[in-house]
């Protein structure tokens, strides 16, 4: 970590008063940042789940269509034909694709709001505030 003395300009900006609206903007940014982290974590989990389902679908391509394969429905495993399992997996992949698309939209929306607040807060507080994660 690099330690240095504050420049005169940094010292002056430290004297900027924090109003109630500034505090609300900072709190809003914090809430958005927390939500953004949660959404990106959920998004990566969905991407991994989709990858697993795609891998299973690829593995099923090597099986005969008449073979029975255990497929988990709720807490139970049911033996189904490969063709039926493949169709069910493709349906699950479509659902996950829709969820990923929705999550990506929400992440972009949260990021846009955060960027707007960053501009406002950095304009007022300069280097006195750190909004980088």
111 Cβ contact list (under 8 Å, min separation 6): 36
Structural domains in the chain, sorted by start: 23-127 (1.10.287.370)
Q: What is the pTM of this model?
A: 0.77
Q: Give the chain's radius of gyration (CA, Å).
A: 25
- Residue 125: per-residue pLDDT: 86
- Residue 128: per-residue pLDDT: 83
> Residue 126 has what DSSP assignment?
G
**Residue 54 pLDDT class (50, 70, 90 cuts):** very high
* pLDDT exceeds cutoff 90 at 115: yes
**pLDDT per position as a tens digit, 59-88:** 998 888 888 999 999 999 999 999 999 999
* pLDDT exceeds cutoff 60 at 129: yes
DSSP assignment of 37-58: HHHHHHHHHHHHHHHHHHHHHH
Q: How far apart, in Å, are the Cα atoms of 97 and each of 1, 43, 129?
A: 42, 11, 38
């Amino acid at each position: 970590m690099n330690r240095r003395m504050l420049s005169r300009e940094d010292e002056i900006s430290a004297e900027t008063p924090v109003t109630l609206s500034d505090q609300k903007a900072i709190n809003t940014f914090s809430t958005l940042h927390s939500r953004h982290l949660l959404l990106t974590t959920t998004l990566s989990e969905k991407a991994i789940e989709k990858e697993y389902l795609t891998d299973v679908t690829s593995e099923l391509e090597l099986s005969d269509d008449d073979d029975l394969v255990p497929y988990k429905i709720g807490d139970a495993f049911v033996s189904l034909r490969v063709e039926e399992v493949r169709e069910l997996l493709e349906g699950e992949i479509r659902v996950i694709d829709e969820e990923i698309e929705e999550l990506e939209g929400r992440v972009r929306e949260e990021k846009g709001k955060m960027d707007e607040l960053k501009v406002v807060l950095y304009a007022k507080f300069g280097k006195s505030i750190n909004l980088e994660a």
